[in-house]
Amino acid sequence: MEEYSVVGKSVERTDGRVKVTGKAKYAGDLVAPGMLHAKLLRSPLAHAKILSIDVSRAEALPGVMAIITGRDFPGIPYGTRPDTRDQLPMPITKVHHFGEGVAAVAAVDEDTAEEALDLITVDYEELPVVLTAEDALKPDAPPVNEFSKSNIAYSSNFLFGDVEKGFKEADYIREETFSSQRVTVGFIEPHACLAEVDPTGRVLLQGSKQSPYITWRHMCRGMEIPLSGMRIVNPFVGGGFSGKHDPFDVDFAAVKLAQRTGRPVKIVLNNDEVLAAYRQRNAMDARLKIGVKKNGSITALKAECILEGGPICGIGPFNIYYFGAFLNIPYKIPAIEYHGKLVYSNRAPCGTVRGQEIVLAQFALDSLIHMVAEDLRVDQVEIRHINAVTDNWRTANGMMVDVSGLQECIQRSAEKIGWKESRKGRPKGRGIGFSCASHPSGPRLGGHFGSSVMLKLVEDGKVIVTHGGTEIGQGANTVFCQMAAEVLGLPFEDMIQGVSDSDTTIFDSGMFGDRCTYWDGNATIAAANDLKRQLAVIAAKELQASPEDLEFKNRRIFLKGKPEKGIDFLLAVRRAYYERGEPLYGKGYWAATDIDIVDWKTGKGNLAHGLDFIATGIEVEVDRETGKVKLIKGVHGDDAGQPINPLMLEGQVNGGSAHMTGHALTEESLYDEKGRALNYTWRDYKQPTSMDVPEYRVEHVHTHDPYGPFGAKGAGEASSCSTLAAIANGVYDAVGVRIKDLPITPEKILKALREKEAK
């Protein structure tokens, strides 16, 4: 294995100190001269026609500068795909969910804006609500979205391999249903932005956005602004987890109010607003049928999935696609039939959450595998070994698994959690659950899908790293600095993280799908090599050598194998600026052009490089008296290729798992019969805290991805995909009851225990 100086080291993250000392400026901290504050009036109803909105009394309130409604926008729908565009910046004819913003007020201060909201009168005509997938699919269900006559927002039907033959070859077949609840995304920083309009009409938006260029494109469309007419600057972002890709009424309203008043406008939501009315994970109903041989090897799988996604399609087609296409990993399944549907409802709009809907698919699949293994008396670890994908495996839908460390991940997680020992004996109420998962390092979409990085070498020898990816807390900035330092032979301290500003950095398709380290990382290497080439020419002249024969290390440029024959890195930099007048910029880009563009019709193709793998073992303790589940220990055997920063990678793996413990056990967004959110405060919505997290251990399984930067793969989402089933399986192992509808609450466990005892 190659020895690196900076890569592979747990260096301190570039943003660590400013964050922990409270000095980092998030969108809510921003101020601008003459800034106004805006608030949104929200619908108290989940589904209603807007008959009229009277803002006259609010407009008359001193200090109110402007009020807008949906009618102030061009009425052009936007959305993730051009064939499913069903969202407006703010509603015009009807409201679709509780808490939807119907008007926005800009005023000299927050109190005045708040007071003005009380003076706006909205006349509604209440409509019947659609709350569940079952409601949505009834023949007489009221249509939820005005751009669609049907409540089926999107559907996919995939067929990979010969399913009929697979089931015929099976020795054993089992079919089960699974369901999952609505959960919120779970970031700490609420949505916030500051919008400004310069004298030429050009818009500057600084917001808490996960993928600012997605926001930028959607907003320019929805507001009829040319792309060059809007500049996006990213402040610090307090977590995204897939919940901050889209533009929201917050962003649209701030820009429109800034246009209207000619003054900067800031909107900062509170967490209650976010929990009630913004992105959540889809509720799921799934049915899986699996065929296996006597030894547990899978011969065929049939899966049906219905996702209830709220009143918009949004990212839903991706969710449906991911659920079906990625049933092909992490296990070798020769034939798969899949039917997926996304339906509209009058609950809060869904996006997705960390791990996309692979999380839900894997919960169902790995729970079912546990059941099958028990039926066949095959060991839980063994059945996963038997089916785990291996190097150079071509999946039934055509994905190429270049490198898989899954076998070793399974072995090491089983060893460290003490699986074998636990089969000989364990305390009453204790159990261990396993699950595996895999997540790709970013798909290939159409349009502008590449990643770009710029390095500016300053005359004091420091390098400013700027990129179009987004640092949302995952540590992307730090790993790019590590990679650039490694290539340039500089210490990490010589790297400075630049600002993400659409006027100076190159656009990126976004921070999602575990793609940033992989795609932007490769672009960073390309940019550093570009800079290196420029410096090598300068140094070669000085050393009377060929540029190709030079090596960069320890702030020196020297002949390969002869460190004494060289010059200081800084001298080469100064030669460029002072003697040649040559600026030193390195630029690099990367895109996986050799993989297939997503085929939404078939789900087939080589969809991604850098499949990262995980095997998770979680030990749980279930109190038979109360039904309460305590997580004791979690071990993740994790193959993320070459760890760039092992400590941050552990944080990602453990964080992805901890994030899902709430989904598994405590979290649920609840609604009443009229679709009104019930538990939209952090007091009532039970997200886990550090007190609920088990002792975690990450076993890094080093592999080398042939396409990844320094052999790295993406990371941070696979552990989300493996955690739900590991907990469900652990609960079963502990007390012998199987909960297939999430969350696994004490009430459900007690009920199941009582039913079991009654038999």
Partner 1 sequence: MMRVNIKSNFIVPGLENQEGLDLDRSTITLREFLEELGERAPTRVEYVRPGAQTINPDEWEIRINDTPYQQWSAGLETLLKDGDTVTIIIIPLGGG
What minimum distance in Å lies between the beta carbon of 138 and partner 1? Answer: 18
**Nearest CA to 619 among 437, 749, 430, 436?**
430
Beta bridge partners of 175: 289
Minimum CB–partner distance for residue 6 and partner 1 (Å): 29
Of positions 8, 77, 161, 656, contacts partner 1 by CB under 8 A: 77
By the 8 A CB rule, do 138 and 132 touch? no
User: Binding pattern to partner 1, positions 210-249, x when CB under 8 A?
Assistant: xx--x--xx--x--------------------x--xx---
Cα-only R_g, the chain: 27
- Looking up tokens 């609505």 gives 182
Q: Does 112 bind partner 1 (CB under 8 A)?
A: no
Helix/strand/coil percent split, the chain, to 5: 30, 25, 40
Q: Rounded to the nearest whole angstrom, what is the least distance from the CB of residue 221 to partner 1 in the complex?
A: 8
Does 510 help bind partner 1 (rule: CB under 8 A)? yes
Candidates 32-40, 264-272, 593-601, 731-739: pick the segment binding partner 1 (CB under 8 A). Answer: 593-601
171-185 per-residue burial string, b: 16 or more CB within 10 A, e: under 16? eeebebebbbbbbbb
Compute the least distance from the CB of residue 510 to partner 1, in Å: 4
Beta bridge partners, 177, equal 287
- For residue 705, the tally of other CB atoms under 10 A from its CB is 24
**Token code pair at residue 594:** 């050799």
For the CB of residue 444, give the shortest distance to partner 1 in the complex, in Å: 11
Between 112 and 282, name the residue whose CB sits nearer to partner 1. Answer: 282
Residue 406 host element (H or E): helix 406-417
Q: Closest distance between partner 1 and the C-beta of residue 248, in Å?
A: 13
List, in order, residues 6 or more apart from 374 with CB less than 8 Å away: 380
Shortest Å, Cβ 717 to partner 1? 9
The stretch among 80-88, 173-181, 363-371, 706-714 that binds partner 1 (CB under 8 A) is 80-88
Residue 51 or 445: the one with the smaller Cβ distance to partner 1 is 445
Which x/- pattern over 352-391 shows residues binding partner 1 (rule: CB under 8 A)?
Answer: x---xx----------------------------------
- Give me the residue label for tokens 């204790």: 430
319 binds partner 1 (CB under 8 A): yes
Which structure tokens are listed for 416?
Answer: 């460290």
From candidates 130, 383, 481, 511, binder to partner 1 by CB under 8 A: 511
Considering only residues 448, 633, 686, 738, which one is a binding residue for partner 1 as defined by CB under 8 A?
448
Smallest gap, in angstroms, from Cβ of residue 224 to partner 1? 10
Cβ pair 342, 316 in contact under 8 A: yes
Alpha-carbon torsion 589, 593, 595, 599, what sign? positive
Residue 47 or 515 with smaller CB distance to partner 1: 515
Q: Determine, following the binding rule CB under 8 A, whether residue 82 of this chain makes contact with partner 1.
A: yes
Would you count residue 428 as binding partner 1 (CB under 8 A)? no
> 306 Cβ partners below 8 Å, 6+ apart?
133, 137, 284, 285, 286, 340, 341, 342, 343
Nearer to partner 1, 84 or 180 (CB): 84
Of 163-171, 403-411, 440-448, 669-677, the window that binds partner 1 (rule: CB under 8 A) is 440-448
Residue 9 CB-half CA count within 13 A = 14
Please, what is the minimum distance in Å from the beta carbon of residue 397 to partner 1? Answer: 14
Q: Which of 37, 39, 42, 85 binds partner 1 (CB under 8 A)?
A: 85
Q: Count how many residues are written for the chain.
A: 759
Size of the site for partner 1 (CB under 8 A): 46
CA 462 to chain centre: 32
Q: Which of 431, 432, 438 is nearest to 409 (CA)?
A: 438
| Minimum gap (Å) between residue 637 Cβ and partner 1 | 24
State CA 719 to chain mean position distance: 12
Q: Which of 43, 69, 84, 497 is close enough to bind partner 1 by CB under 8 A?
A: 84
139 binds partner 1 (CB under 8 A): no
Q: Are 210 and 472 in contact (CB under 8 A)?
A: yes
Query: Of 80, 397, 474, 720, which one interacts with partner 1 (CB under 8 A)?
Result: 80
Out of 148, 179, 529, 679, name the contact with partner 1 by CB under 8 A: 148
φ/ψ of 450, rounded to 5, equals: -85, 180
Per-residue contact track with partner 1, 627 to 656, x per CB under 8 A?
A: ------------------------------
Contact between 588 and 530 under an 8 Å Cβ cutoff? The reply is yes
Structural contact between residues 296 and 373, judged by C-beta atoms closer than 8 angstroms = yes
Going by C-alpha positions, the residue among 465, 473, 478 that lies closest to residue 505 is 465
The token pair at 716 is: 């941070």
Give the one residue of 18, 51, 445, 458 binding partner 1; rule: CB under 8 A: 445
Which one of residues 50, 315, 327, 528 is an interface residue with partner 1 (CB under 8 A)?
Answer: 315
Identify which of residues 153 and 386 has a Cβ nearer to partner 1 in the complex: 153
What gap in Å lies between CA 16 and CA 619, rounded to an integer? 32
| Distance, CA of 470 to CA of 508 (rounded, Å) | 9
Question: Is residue 447 close enough to count as binding partner 1 by CB under 8 A?
Answer: yes
Write each residue from 688 to 727 as x if it is in contact with partner 1 (CB under 8 A), else as -, in one continuous string. Answer: ----------------------------------------
Which sign, positive or negative, has the C-alpha torsion 567, 571, 577, 583?
positive
Shortest separation between residue 24's beta carbon and partner 1, angstroms: 24
Question: Least distance in Å: CB of 15 to partner 1?
Answer: 22
Cis peptide before 330 (omega within 30 of 0): yes
- Asked if residue 296 lies in contact with residue 378, where contact means CB atoms within 8 angstroms, the answer is yes
**Omega of the bond leading into 743 within 30 degrees of 0 (cis):** yes
Near partner 1 by CB under 8 A: residue from 5, 10, 150, 422: 150
DSSP code of 282? P
Give CA–CA dist 126/138, Å, rounded.
Answer: 20
User: From the list 99, 513, 521, 688, which residue makes contact with partner 1 (rule: CB under 8 A)?
Assistant: 513
Stretch that binds partner 1, among 207-215, 398-406, 607-615, 622-630 (CB under 8 A): 207-215
- In the list 167, 512, 558, 707, the residue contacting partner 1 (rule: CB under 8 A) is 512
Binding site for partner 1 (CB under 8 A): 77, 80-86, 147-150, 210-211, 214, 217-218, 221, 242, 245-246, 314-315, 317-319, 322, 351-352, 356-357, 445-448, 509-513, 515, 597-601
